[in-house]
């Protein structure tokens, strides 16, 4: 019979010793926690090559709820300060359309409206992710440990952030939604009624006007998303990266959706203002 007292210390145990003591791969990973080279070698032994699976198993191997507990409180405060500043300044101060004369105030308002949507959406997402991450790590921490006390207070802050950001919820900017529905409705009406322009030059002028409007909305969306993305990176980008490293083994911090929003909104705008009317005109002409 194997004598447990004869087992070598875990700190000096070889791979063969660990294999004899623990048949469960997760137990092996937890014993190797902190030694990235040993974890990588063990994952190679059990033929885990998928990047996502390797990341998942490496995260399970962590032995503490916080990778850098001494920095957690300071990094958490930095993120909260950055979020407060972002909510206040993230969508103000656009200089878009400054050379367009009296109409620049309208352009600036619309650009800031798009930026506000992107900023508020990102702040809400960050608050929810923080609250959930802190809550999970608090449950994983040992009872009455310093890490549990740190995470409990941070989780209460995260819950407060969720409540605060909920009051600022808003939908997609109205002018973007209206800009998509108006031309689509007109095109469908033309297709259903069989309406055609009496003169070819009238159709050309109407098409040119639709193109200009579509390009104008796309320009506003692009500048609004760019403003929001720049302010998000300047304020919370680096603090979030540091906090995620401090918590440890939790993937990547939430990314803002400024680029995705811009691509989707501009694609839809071009589609309903240019492509759809063109298809309707061609169908009526033939």
pLDDT digits (tens, 9 = 90+) for 85-94: 999 999 998 8
Residue-by-residue DSSP string for 118-154: HHHHHHHHHHHHHHHHHHHHHHHSPTT-HHHHHHHHH
| C-alpha span between 66 and 243 (Å, rounded) | 10
Q: What is the pLDDT of residue 1?
A: 39
Residue-by-residue DSSP string for 13-79: --HHHHHHH---HHHHHHHTTT-HHHHHHHHHHTT---HHHHHHHHHHT--SS-S-HHHHHHHHHHH
| C-alpha span between 239 and 233 (Å, rounded) | 10
> What digits encode the pLDDT tens for the residues 21-41?
445 565 666 655 666 666 666
Q: What is the pLDDT of residue 72?
A: 97
On whether the CB atoms of residues 65 and 151 are closer than 8 A, the answer is yes
On whether the CB atoms of residues 250 and 176 are closer than 8 A, the answer is no
Q: What is the pLDDT of residue 3?
A: 46
pTM score: 0.73
Which residue in 117, 47, 78 sits closest to 258, CA to CA? 117
Which of the residues in the chain have pLDDT under 50?
Answer: 1-11, 18, 20-22
- Here the tokens at position 198 are 């009496």
Q: What is the pLDDT of residue 7?
A: 45
Q: What is the pLDDT of residue 164?
A: 92
Q: What is the pLDDT of residue 138?
A: 96
- Here the tokens at position 131 are 């609250």
């Amino acid at each position: 019979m194997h004598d447990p007292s004869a087992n070598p210390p875990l700190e000096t145990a070889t791979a063969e010793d660990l294999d004899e003591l623990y048949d469960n791969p997760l137990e092996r990973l937890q014993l190797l926690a902190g030694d990235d080279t040993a974890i990588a070698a063990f994952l190679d032994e059990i033929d885990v090559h998928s990047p996502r699976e390797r990341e998942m198993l490496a995260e399970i191997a962590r032995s503490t709820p916080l990778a850098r507990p001494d920095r957690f409180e300071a990094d958490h405060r930095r993120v909260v300060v950055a979020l407060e500043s972002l909510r206040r300044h993230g969508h103000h101060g656009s200089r878009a359309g400054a050379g367009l004369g009296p109409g620049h105030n309208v352009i600036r308002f619309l650009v800031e409206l798009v930026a506000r949507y992107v900023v508020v959406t990102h702040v809400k997402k960050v608050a929810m992710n923080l609250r959930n991450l802190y809550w999970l790590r608090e449950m994983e921490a040992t009872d009455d440990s310093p890490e549990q006390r740190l995470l409990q207070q941070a989780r209460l802050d995260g819950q407060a952030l969720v409540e605060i950001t909920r009051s600022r919820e808003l939908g997609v900017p109205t002018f973007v939604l209206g800009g998509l529905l108006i031309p689509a409705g007109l095109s469908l009406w033309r297709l259903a009624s069989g309406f055609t322009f009496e003169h070819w030059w009238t159709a050309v002028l109407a098409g040119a006007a639709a193109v200009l409007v579509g390009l104008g909305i796309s320009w506003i969306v692009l500048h609004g998303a760019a403003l929001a993305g720049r302010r998000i990176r300047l304020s919370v980008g680096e603090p979030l990266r540091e906090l995620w490293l401090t918590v440890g083994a939790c993937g990547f911090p939430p990314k803002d959706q400024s680029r995705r929003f811009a691509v989707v909104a501009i694609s839809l705008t071009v589609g309903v203002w240019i492509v759809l009317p063109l298809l309707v005109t061609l169908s009526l002409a033939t």
